[in-house]
Amino acid sequence: MTITATTTTTATTTVGVELGERRYDVHIGNFSPDAVAETLARALGGDVTGVGVLVDGELGRRSPRVAPLVDALRARLPRVARLDLPGGEASKNLAEIGRTTQWLAEQGYDRRAAVIGVGGGAAGDHSGFAAAVYLRGVRFALCPTTLLAMVDASVGGKTAVDLPAGKNLVGAFHQPRAVVAELGFLQTLPARELRAGIAEVIKCGFIADPALLAIFDAHPGGRLSDQAIAALVAGAVRVKAAVVAEDELEGGRRAILNFGHTIGHALEAESAYALLHGEAVSLGMIAAMSLGVARGITPPALAERARALLADAGLPVDLDGRVTPAVMARVGVDKKRAGKAVRFVLCAAAGDTRICDVGLDELRAHFLQSA
């Protein structure tokens, strides 16, 4: 998977997210720092009294795009201050939330202040949760800088930090006022992280939008142009926005977003997070396709197509030996279990899913035998 860097500026796409009484836009494209700042300033509102910009620390050290963005924000918004978080998952704990909220208080930010999160999924989760709880909730906006965060964290309003007992066990639903996905950040994203994000895009294709899969077909070998990336991000965000709008909180239609995640989460955790989320979801989709074939829901040709697409994108597709009894034990205690059955999203055709509760015995027989 590579992005062929071009100087062509891609067109901007705006996807509206409707959530009950609130709506916000996800802006996708190549934006100048000024354009990002203008969009964020407009979304945060003219009465905003201060802005804490929380930056993933690794991104802050590595990317030349952060400082100009903060400068542009300073030119348009009052009392802008920047805090660099620990890089990645290291920011996702209550101790760091304590440090960030204390920092917000030390800036003198009041209830009309805002938090802008700049970084990948972890920085977004940290920033969103800090914004959700500081003074019982201040405004929030998000600048996702990884492909996974652009397609996965832009919509849904889920924020969380980890506990020793597990990931994302403490959090809040807190919707951003706006999301700006500046695709330029992807130019310096490590290739492995880019591939991991692609897994979520492919997931969106299989659960809801076959046209996304066609874009991959048109770019074999994982060579995606800027335009293709922009279209994939916009398409995936559109899928997620449509699903979440129907079902703001957990349950119901939103469950289809868990395609590939039931086994995926277990593999990810059992690997002690050596597998990236997207890599685990790739394997989880392979697992769900295999289970669907065994149950007569998934046509074998569809399972083959998934394997080919994921492999072409450079994602892991070989389940052999991965679904160990230890992984199965994790599936059995997954949050989504209902009694002794485990809820799976199975795929009947591209864009057509079935929610099935599968007994633990059937799961063990299928995966431990085929493993």
Query: Which candidate in 265, 270, 279, 322 is catalytic?
Result: 265
Over the window 158 to 197, marking each residue x when it contacts its own copies by CB under 8 A and - when it does not, the resulting string is x-x--xxxx--xxxxx------------------------
What residues have CB less than 8 Å from 339, skipping those under 6 apart?
none
Active site residue 336: no
Active site residue 174: no
What is residue 167's three-state secondary structure? Answer: strand
Q: Which two tokens stand for residue 121?
A: 């999924």
CB of 347 to its own copies, least distance (A): 26
Rg (the chain; Cα; Å): 20
Between CA 270 and CA 279 the distance in angstroms is 13
Q: Quick one: which of 46, 136, 220, 272 contacts its own copies (CB under 8 A)?
A: 136
Q: Largest Cα–Cα distance in the chain?
A: 61
DSSP 317-355: ---TTTS-HHHHHHHHT-TTEETTEEEEEEEEETTEEEE
| Choice among 79, 99, 167, 254 that is catalytic | 254
In whole angstroms, the minimum distance from the beta carbon of 334 to its own copies comes to 10
By CB under 8 A, residue 22 contacts its own copies: no
Minimum CB distance to its own copies smaller for 11 or for 169: 169
19 lines the binding site for its own copies (CB under 8 A): no
The correct pick among 106, 272, 320, 321 for binding its own copies (CB under 8 A) is 106
Least gap, CB of 114 to its own copies (angstroms): 16
- Our CA angle for 177, 181, 64, nearest 5°, is 115
- Treating both helix axes as pointing N-terminal to C-terminal, what angle do 226-246 and 191-207 enclose, rounded to 10 degrees? 50
Contact letters (x/-) for its own copies, 315-354, by CB under 8 A?
------------------x-x-------------------
- Check the CA dihedral 36-39-43-45 and report its sign: positive
E strand or H helix that includes residue 18: strand 13-19
What sign has the CA pseudo-torsion 41, 42, 43, 44? positive
* Residues 115-134, interacting with its own copies (CB under 8 A): 132-134
Beta-bridged to residue 53, according to DSSP, are 82, 116
Q: Is 58 a catalytic residue?
A: no
Q: Stretches 157-165, 210-218, 228-236, 324-332: which one binds its own copies (CB under 8 A)? A: 157-165
- 92 assigned to active site: no
Out of 177, 240, 307, 322, the active site residue is: 240
State the Cα angle at 46 between 41 and 48, rounded to 5°.
Answer: 80
Reply yes or no on whether 126 is catalytic: no
Q: Which of 5, 105, 214, 329 binds its own copies (CB under 8 A)?
A: 105
Query: Which of these is catalytic: 27, 126, 177, 261?
Result: 261
Of 182, 258, 268, 270, which is the active-site residue?
Answer: 258
Nearer to its own copies, 246 or 250 (CB): 250
Phi, psi of 55 (to 5 degrees): -115, 130
- For its own copies, what does the binding mask look like between residues 228 and 267, x meaning CB under 8 A? ----------------------x-----------------
At 41, list the tokens. Answer: 């300033």
Instruction: Pick the binder of its own copies from 26, 40, 77, 97 (CB under 8 A).
Output: 97
Query: Coil, strand or helix: which one is 143?
Result: strand
Please name the residue ranges forming H helices in 151-190.
none
Stretch that binds its own copies, among 6-14, 75-83, 90-98, 113-121 (CB under 8 A): 90-98
Q: Catalytic: 27?
A: no
Residue 177 to residue 334: CA distance in whole angstroms: 32
Give the other-Cβ count within 10 Å of 62's Cβ. Answer: 14
Nearer to its own copies, 75 or 333 (CB): 333
Interacting residue ranges for its own copies, rule: CB under 8 A:
93-95, 97-98, 101-102, 105-106, 108, 110-111, 132-137, 158, 160, 163-166, 169-173, 250, 333, 335
The residues annotated as belonging to the active site are 136, 158, 200, 240, 250, 254, 258, 261, 265, 277
